[in-house]
Structure formats: structure tokens, C-alpha cells
Amino acid sequence: MESVTVHPTMPNTDDKLHIAMFPWLAFGHMIPYLELAKLIAGKGHKISFISTPRNIDRLPSLPPNLSTRITFVKLPLPENPNLPEGAEATSDLPEDEVAHLKTAFDSLDEPITQFLKSSNPDWLLFDFAPYWLPEIARNLGIPTAFFSIFIASSFTYLGTTSPEAPPDDRKLPEDYTVSPKWVPFPSTVALRLFEVLRLYKRITGDETNVSDLYRFMGSARGCDVIAMRSCEEFEPEWLSLVQVIHGKSVLPIGLLSTTANDDDDKDTWPSIKEWLDRQRKNTVVYVAFGTEAMPCQEEVTEIALGLEKSGLPFFWVLKTKQGTDAVKLPEGFEERNEGRGVVCRGWAPQLKILAHDSVGVFLSHSGWSSVVEALTFGRPLVLLPMSNDQGLNARLFGEKKVGYELPRDDGDGSFTSEAVAESLRMVIEKEEGRAYRDKVKELKHLVGDRKRQNLYVDKFLDYLTTHQRRRSI
């Protein structure tokens, strides 16, 4: 195990911090943590990035100038008979087996305690899952920040910890389909019934695992400060509300636009670019659902037929389960759409695709990282949330006209190919879609303004440094 050792009796005197980071074992969490780590390391601070060996080996390579400031700390997962060999991230497992990964993750409490004792970082940034970690850090005299990769509106929906805020008395699935009573302004940010039912075991927990809400609230209650992947210009009312309902400082750290690594796509990009170059400007539908969201057979069929009915050129990054659970495209689909559409079954350089001026709309699962990338290049969205916080995101993005949510049945979440085709055509070319096209152009200047977003990281580090200086006195 690699580590950075800081002598516990030596106060930090040069205003350069040693920050430990411990994200949840999902790449949708690890990548934003790594982006923040790179920004902080670029300002001269030291980072200990803690995860499991296989996850660390799968992370994007670091820029050479940062490799000496970011140390990867590998903590092997304890053996768990319910986990397949090599399963160290949520993407390695079906969704109904992720609970076993959380159980194994909780067993890292002792190894991370030993690491924190030996390295004595100035700050520990941790994710929602290790609700037990703030107490360990407090006993070691290490201040903590709960760094949430969720936007403030979704964070607010999950619950409250301040005694001044209304208690969370939601019990039935239907209770989760309306805006919580601690939200004092009109909002559509709530789960739809089919989303609640899909997530209900994770909302309530069971005899083998505490609920995700329990983890969230324990982490929010135990931390010293809440850091959030958001900014004042995007959701100011929600950031203020998080501070009220949790009774502690909330620090936005900016949107953390992903930085591309040209080495990762040098083999795949030329042929993709050649195809995109042949398409007219603002006409291509780009379809991708992140690293983990996989549509089921019925959804794949309706998406495919909808793309075909739209008449629009498309580039579809299709990730499917392997073996007997593998989904199939409609018979003859690829042959009928040869030349007009591309189905990519491997990795694709999303940032470069979104940057290409032939792309006119992004059909996405509403994951925050993907939406930030779309906004960076001013691409309007059609939203098809799959799981986790994506439905909550989609409601806020719909309110703000960032994306149009694909119409679905509220009870089972089903949708039709006609809805896919009509939604795509509306956002990409019709007059009623102009509000979405105009809004993302407006937000492009906010999200793509690296200097403005960088100021959030500076303010965050100022807070951490000031707090650390007081601790050293």
C-alpha cells in the first residue's frame, strides 16, 4: 500500500495541505473525485486517493505534472463469498448485487483507520457510503468534508439532519413522489412512482444492509462541512436550503468538467470523427447512458425503433449485459440504418463526440457528469433517467429547460418508440424545442468558463486552509 506520511506533531506551516479522498466504489463517483484531486494537486497540495487496487488500476492516467502530488492508496477489499472475483466497483455487478459490495466496503473501516493514523492528513473528503467514517476521523483529530457528487436539489430531497428542520416521516412509496415538506418553494424534484419502486429496497434497507438514506444522513450529520459538485449560478436556492436543513456550512466546489486524455482515444477517434464530419451541423443524435446504466430489452427495442422513426443520423454507444441476459437490437435494424446510424459497442470518446459540431442532441440518462459535459459544449438533452439520482436530476433539468424528459408511464416507466422519435425531433429542430436549445447555449458560457469554475476550488481550499491553520495553533 502506498501512502504519504505526515508526522502527527508537525503542524502544516506552508499552507499546502495533505488531503485524503475516499469515494464510493462507482466510477460515477471516483471520476469526479479524481477531477477535484487534479485541480487541488495543480495548486500544489498533496492528495492521497484511496480506493481498491483494481479500481485504481482502471482510473484514467494522471498528467505527468501531477503524478508526484497524487498518491494512490490501494486498500484491498476483504473477501466476500457473495462477490464474484474481481468485483470492486458497481459496474462489475448487477444492480441487485451492489448491496454485497456495500457490505465489503464497510469492512474497510479498519484498514482506512490504520492509514489515517499513519498519514495524519489535514483533511479527509469522503462519500455518502462510509457513514461510519466521520467518527473514526474525529477520534483521530482529522476534520472531514462530505463531498457529494450529487447536485444540491437531489441532496435536499434525501432528508434532513438539523433539529430545526421538519423530520422525515415518509413511509409509503407514494410519500416519495411529491416534493418534501422541508422544500419551501414550488418544485417538481421528486421521484416518480416507478422510480421509487425500483429503488425502494435501497431507500428502506433490509436485515443485511442499512439503507442508502441512512448512509447519506449519517455522513451529512457526522461531517464538519458539506462540499457539493454545484455552483451558485446554477441552483442557488437549493444550495442555501441544504445549509438550512443540515445546519452546517455548504461549500460548492464548481461543476468539475471532465478533462480529456488524448492517449485514451487515439485508436478510436479518427474513424468516429470521419463519420461525424460527413453529417450536417446540429443533426446527429448522440445516445449514451454512462458507465453503468444499461437499458433492458424492451427499452433497447423502443430506443432503436425511435431512432429509426426520427429519420435523424445517430451515434449510439450501446453497453449491454453479457451472456444469456444480453439484449438484442431489432432484427435488421443495423442493416436498415447503415450509413445513417452507428452502433458502438465499445468505449467511445464522449467529450470529443459532444464537441463535434454535427451533434444536435444528446439522449442521456441524466447523470450529472454527462450533463455537465453536454452543457460544456452547448448540446441540448433528451433525458431518459435509469436509476439512482437520475430521476431527481431530470426533474430539475426539466424545470431549468436544460433537457426535455422523455414521456413515460408513471406506473412502470415504459415508453414508446414514437415518444423517442418525437422528443428527439422536437428538441433538435422544432420551434417548441427552441427553449432547450437556447438555454444550453446560455449555460455553455457558465460551465465552459474554467476560470470561473476554478474560483470555486480556490474558495474551497481557502476554507480548508483557514480551518487547518486554526487546528494547528
Tell me how far apart the alpha carbons of residues 154 and 151 are, in angstroms, rounded to a whole number.
6
- CA separation for the pair 401, 239 (Å, rounded): 19
Q: What top-level class would CATH report for the domain 18-257+449-472?
A: alpha beta
pLDDT at position 291: 75
The predicted model scores a pTM of: 0.91
Strand partners, 291: none
CATH topology of domain 263-447: Rossmann fold (3.40.50)
CA dihedral 344, 407, 366, 410 (to 10 degrees): -120
Q: What residue type is 350 in one-letter code? A: Q
Helix (H) or strand (E) holding 46: strand 46-51
Amino acid 293: pLDDT? 76
Q: CA-to-CA distance for 381 and 374, rounded, in angstroms?
A: 8
Q: Which amino acid is present at 118?
A: S
Opening angle at CA 252, ends 247 and 257, nearest 5: 150
Q: What is the pLDDT of residue 202?
A: 84
Rounded Cα distance, 24 and 34, in Å: 12
Q: What is the pLDDT of residue 1?
A: 36
Domains 18-257+449-472 and 263-447 alike in fold: yes
Q: What is the structure's pLDDT at 9? A: 35
Q: Give pLDDT, residue 261.
A: 61
Question: Which segments in the chain show pLDDT lower than 70?
Answer: 1-14, 260-266, 321-325, 468-473
What's the order of all strands across the beta sheet hosting 18-22?
70-74, 46-51, 18-22, 123-126, 144-148, 225-228, 250-252
Q: What is the pLDDT of residue 472?
A: 55
Q: Phi and psi dihedrals of 403, rounded to 5?
A: -155, 155
Tell me what pLDDT residue 263 has. 56
Strands 284-287 and 144-148, bridge-based pairing: unpaired
Query: Quick one: pLDDT at residue 209?
Result: 82
**Domain range summary for the chain, segments of one domain joined by +:** 18-257+449-472, 263-447
User: Can you tell me the distance from the alpha carbon of 372 to that of 425, in angstroms, rounded to the nearest whole number?
Assistant: 22
Three cell numbers written together for 439: 438555454
Q: Give the per-residue pLDDT at 470.
A: 56
